[in-house]
Amino acid sequence: VTLDAVELRVLHLPLVSPFTTSFGTETVREVIVVTAETSDGRGWGEVVTSAEPYYSSEYTQGAWDVLSRFLAPALLERRSLAPEEVACILDRVVGHRMAKAGLELAVIDAALRAEGRSFGQYLGAEKTRVPSGVSVGIQSDPAALVDTVGGYLDDGYVRIKIKIKPGRDVADTAAVREAFGSIPLQVDANSAYTLQDAGTLAELDRFDLLLIEQPLQEDDLVDHATLAKRLHTPVCLDESIVSDKAAADALALGSAAILNIKAGRVGGYLEALAIHDRALAAGIPVWCGGMLETGIGRAANAALAALPGFTLPGDISASARFYERDIVTEPAVLEDGHVRVPTGDGIGVEIDQAALEAFTVQRERIAR
């Protein structure tokens, strides 16, 4: 494609309910939508940063700055480029993986729409729908957690993930097990523990969990391997897996038995595909993580989750789990516990321009 301009928009999307994790509470999702304007038409991508750098070092205004001053200009300098070249062209910039991922998806989407090819077909998707897991934030107390989980089970979600942190872990997990029996259940600590908490984490072994996600810090690959030897519950990594190289190191060290793959966290869907292929070859199950995506990222994630190595339900919930109004004309819906893989050209969703305008709080167009 020949890239003529890149448009950046910061959106503020109100969440239907506060979302609390071990690093804080979000009530409004601040996200960047990237539009690639090419000679063959437009494509869309999404930067999955939060307003604050609490999940990782990236945050929305930082992503905005690096996209505006470095990443978009680097692509615009090229007369024409193939989507597969984007990561390499942006490699000069260190880090800023979520920003890079959003820009890469917009270019891929534009190229595929022009070719009349779906993102699922491009990645090698093998399913037409994917099982939908739901991520449940930390609630006011275990009883409230049970109520919230009950609601999502009634909606049909096939897997429950609850957030935990020190003091809100064993009792909460016990309450969910007590109320709902042997439903597929996993916990996500978002790095809230240290090796000293191994005893507490070992208490979770009695709940027959699918996995415990990211108990320690992002750069604790060796400590996660040490912890894994003391737990029966499989350790899954999220924040630590920032690239295919990090995935290789984590598997070599025994830091993780399962991987959560998020295209934004690793720098793009092509890097995510490489990690999928590596895990598949190693017999390591993977699942698709979520970053409260709008319909743009949600559609792309559904295609990614349809690859053969994604054998565990991902955090691909219905759009309505987070948003009253999405920015695509066909928000993801839950049908019999599954979300459809879009079959249209590119990521297979159309932008609801009115909604996009309504939620836009900042906009910039960077032309060649």
Ligand X SMILES: O=C(O)CCC(=O)N[C@@H](C(=O)O)c1ccccc1
Q: What is the set of active-site residues? A: 163, 262
Chain-centre distance for alpha carbon 153: 21
Q: Which residue has the tokens 């690959």?
A: 221
290 contributes a contact to ligand X by CB under 6 A: yes
Q: Which is nearer to ligand X, 38 or 152 (CB)?
A: 152
Query: Which contacts qualify for 194-197: CB closer than 8 Å, 24 or more apart?
Result: 195/223, 195/226, 195/227, 197/166
Q: Which stretch binds ligand X (CB under 6 A): 146-154, 251-259, 289-297, 344-352?
A: 289-297
Cβ-closest position to ligand X: 290
Hey, which residues between 310 and 329 contact ligand X (CB under 6 A)?
Answer: 315, 317
Q: Output the DSSP codes for 275-307.
A: HHHHHHHHT--EEE------HHHHHHHHHHHTS
Tokens of 81: 């480029």
Query: CB of residue 297 vs ligand X: minimum separation in angstroms?
Result: 9
Hey, which residues between 251 and 280 contact ligand X (CB under 6 A)?
Answer: none
292 contributes a contact to ligand X by CB under 6 A: yes
Binding mask 53-82 for ligand X (x = CB under 6 A): --x---------------------------
Q: Using CB under 6 A, pick the residue from 35, 139, 190, 319 that binds ligand X.
A: 190
Hey, which residues between 91 and 150 contact ligand X (CB under 6 A)?
Answer: 135
Strands 41-47 and 24-38: antiparallel
Q: Which is nearer to ligand X, 66 or 192 (CB)?
A: 192
Tokens of 330: 């066909």
Q: Which stretch binds ligand X (CB under 6 A): 3-11, 109-117, 270-278, 286-294?
A: 286-294
Provide the b/e sequence for 191-229 (b: ≥16 CB within 10 Å).
bbbeeebbeebeebeebebbbbbbbbebebbebbbebbe
Chain-centre distance for alpha carbon 178: 30
Measured distance CA(319)–CA(355) in Å, rounded = 14
Measured distance CA(130)–CA(310) in Å, rounded = 9
Query: CB of residue 160 vs ligand X: minimum separation in angstroms?
Result: 12
Q: Which stretch binds ligand X (CB under 6 A): 72-80, 82-90, 285-293, 340-348?
A: 285-293
Site size toward ligand X (CB under 6 A) is: 14
Q: Which stretch binds ligand X (CB under 6 A): 8-16, 139-147, 172-180, 284-292?
A: 284-292
Write out the residues near ligand X by the rule CB under 6 A: 21, 50, 55, 135, 188, 190, 238, 289-293, 315, 317
